[in-house]
Structure 1
Amino acid sequence: MSKSLQAIRGMNDILPDQTPVWRYVEGKVSRLLDNYGYKQIRMPIVEFTELFKRSIGEVTDIVEKEMYTFEDRNGDSLTLRPEGTAACVRAVLEHGITGGGQVQKLWYIGPMFRHERPQKGRYRQFHQIGVEVFNLDGPDIDAELIVLTWRLWGELGIRDAVKLELNSLGTSEARARYRAALVQYLSSRLSELDEDSQRRLKSNPLRVLDTKNADTQAVLVDAPKLVDYLDEESRVHFEGLKARLDAAGIPYVINPKLVRGLDYYSKTVFEWVTDKLGAQGTVCAGGRYDGLVEQMGGKPTTGVGFAMGIERLILLVETLEQIPQELARQVDVYLCAFGEAAELAALALSERVRDQLPNLRLQINAGAGSFKSQFKKADKSGALYALILGDDELAQQVVGVKPLRGQGEQQTIAWDALAEHLATCVVQG
């Protein structure tokens, strides 16, 4: 017997009873970004592998271990995108929409792919919402990105469960000076580092700072601090960001070990973290990448952005029981029709009501059935009301309106008055 077909490990189906929460969260984010003046951009999920090697860095875990890379029939090396910033930068460069200092405030949504060990809150296909801003170099835009995420947490009811961590990585020159000092210090205590940190010391020493190994963390206590190597420009920028967050009343903590996992960051880096999801504590993260566009072949262009994982965000909303109850109800009104003549009239009547109430979720029964079976389907749909249309109602051009959730007695309403009645009772319900 052949093996039953199933989804690839770490790549999950999102079933119909789950999608209302996804649409709710995605809707909150998209409306918020619209309100702040951001425009959506959509990029392919497959890019040339070289794009990610050049942008993310060849010695990062993502490029070394996690990318889904393959050759196509032309022999080109292609990769399923592991993150969105590089693809967004490629798109704005290719189409020239940041040339001449044009400010672009963009956002995107879609699946990303990394070959990681699947666990709760971490998957091989995961979905991100990302925001990227080009040609604005002040701390004001850094602050705006953080402020709008703070507003989002409030709208989702999770503000008390997240904490903002900040750091500044300085310019590339400042990081180079710090890297040299860090390597010198860690090399003198090489035997005390865990194996992974020893490897990173040669390839990407700043990543040693975010190790989870307790022994290596003990070694880092007396290590040089990045803040002591910051250039004046980065120091002023960081102070400007903190002043704006203070003015907006947004609490934060400085985390000197926050370096992010991608090579292209500079100056501001930040993470929104939670202790409600176990090991998967980062809900949203981002920062500045002022040298990335130039690194990828463009003219010097400042950039800043963030990304949030939708799966993890939904998990946090669900864990905190902040899902609105109405999401469990996908139908407002269920129309039951008995007999062919009533079914024809029901079709015309339902479309007339939809014309008048475009936001009403009205489901008309399909597949005929007895009075009992149709009412069973109406109740299962979660609808607040069942509409009843049989021969008697058809002759009088009325419809029965029966509450299904204990909102009173059944009423008889004329067809011409049905939309007005539903507009009142469904809102009240």
Structure 2
Amino acid sequence: MFDLDRWREIFQSINKNRLRSVMSGFTVAFAILLFTLLFGVVSGLSNSFTSAFSDDAQNSMFVRVWKTSMPYKGLQTGRTVQLKNDDYNFVTEEYESKIQYQSARIYKNFTLKYKNEASSYSVRAVNPDHQFLEKTIIDEGRYLNERDLKEKSKVIVIGRLIKKDLFGEKPALGKRLNVNGSSYLIIGVFSDEGGDNEERLAYIPVTTAQMMYGNNDYISQINLGYNPNLSLDAAIAFGNQMERDMRKRLNIHPDDQSALSVRNMAEANKGVGQFMGILYAIVILVGSGTLIAGIIGISNIMIFVIKERTKEFGIRKALGAKPSSIVGMVVQESVLITTIAGYLGLSLGTYILSLIGNSLEEDYFIKDPSVSTGIVIGATVVLVLSGLIAGYLPAKRAANIKPIVALRAD
């Protein structure tokens, strides 16, 4: 129950010993402040890594080929390796259960023209799944579909900034766009979290590009999204197996790193996860050490305070006060000081993070440093427990002293 008299005594004790109360709180406030700043900075680093990979799906894999740098099976160095539709189909059939999305990609640079407005842009010929691999956001119309591929339709999906460059504020959906001398129907306008460069891209069906620009079955790249049910280790093993199989299929030396690469986001995610885990472990270690130092500091101060109040406790016990009431009063005072000081340290740390957040992002690539709700709740629990630990042990010792001994204390 709420005991008003006890709270009055607690506040009177705090007011009477202001310096001691401030010093008690300062140790905890500083510990929580440092803890908050460290966690905020590490959280900002995590946000930076997440932002760096935000343009692509987190389960992406990219298969690309170049020229060989090593002879293999009688084939000379410098041979150009070329991916084809058969290679794309091989990946589809061989690893069907491990693939969520798949798309070929062909790179082109074309002049896009609408009436008197014209400029050069990167055009990518892709499959419909490319939308999910690239995390493309359709603002108007639609993305490419299987019918567009089957019919080799001359349709195009343009980025938001291409629309702005060529059409201004006028609608672009349904208009005809001159693409390197050929007329394409605009079926969609998209935006992309990857920034301006990604929003100055255009997409056409891969089959249309093969028919219109070379009349062949060549592709530049195979993009995959591995099954999200795979663990990171399983996804890495899948990528390594696919790379070995593709090297055999394309007659590339197993050690020739220049001819073929499989960039697997699972490897990057695992590396980032391990790095962030180490950082968080260091922060927890340092922060916990600082917090323990704060608890020890406030415990020492409470021991000194209780020693000063030994006679008072003796009088209370002589008048019939139970040891539990004395312990409860001291613990409540300790918890109150610790909680208030901890909240101030947490608030100050959060304020400092918000104040320096922009400069950290500009100078050190630490994006949006902040402390999560879970950390705040955890810190609050730690504060209460710290106050209990700091006040209980010395109070318990003092409450067990016999009244006659306490009254004789100097």
TM-score range, shorter chain: under 0.3
Q: Which protein has the bigger helix share?
A: 2
Q: TM-score, normalised by structure 2?
A: 0.26
TM-score by length of 1: 0.26
Q: Which has the larger radius of gyration?
A: 2
